Amino acid sequence: MKLTSEMIDGAQVVRVEEERIDASVAIQFKDRMRELAAGASGRVILDMGRVGFVDSSGLGAIVAVMKLLAPATKLELAALTPTVGKVFHMTRMDSVFAIHPEVPGEGMRHAV
């Protein structure tokens, strides 16, 4: 489970460098996020732009990470791909997370 992290505009942006967050990696994802965001405060934005598929175990892991980080840190999501967005919508978990169409600052970086 490869995740990379950088600070953008005061938020920790964690990019998921995987095509899937599914039952076979859900626990790894939770553990890696716990390590990466340890000591974070403020916002952690999960860049989901490369993730084409999330199943209900993967979704559960993302919710679990949000709980782990709270209350000091708020987990937000960005750049959901269509099938992933569908899973969030159908489970109504899109009402639980702040979901950004794209990663904040992304447009600026591309322009440089």
Partner 1 sequence: MQSDATAHAPDQAGESARFRLQASEREVRRVLGRIMAHLGDGLAEPDRGTVEIVLAEVLNNIVEHAYARCPPGRIRLFLTPIEEGLACRVEDDGHPMPSLVLPDGRLPDISDELDLLPEGGWGWSLIRSLTADLIYERTARANRLTFRIPVSWKACRDPDRDMVARQRVAGG
Which residues contact partner 1 (rule: CB under 8 A)?
20, 22-24, 53, 55-57, 59-61, 63-64, 66-67, 70-71, 82-83, 86-87, 90-93, 95-96
Nearer to partner 1, 11 or 58 (CB): 58
- Report, in Å, the least distance between residue 89 CB and partner 1: 11
Cα 92 to Cα 31: distance, rounded to the nearest angstrom = 25
Cα 24 to Cα 28: distance, rounded to the nearest angstrom = 8
- Report, in Å, the least distance between residue 104 CB and partner 1: 23
Cα 59 to Cα 54: distance, rounded to the nearest angstrom = 6
- Report, in Å, the least distance between residue 67 CB and partner 1: 6
Nearer to partner 1, 23 or 108 (CB): 23
Cα 17 to Cα 1: distance, rounded to the nearest angstrom = 8
Cα 9 to Cα 75: distance, rounded to the nearest angstrom = 15
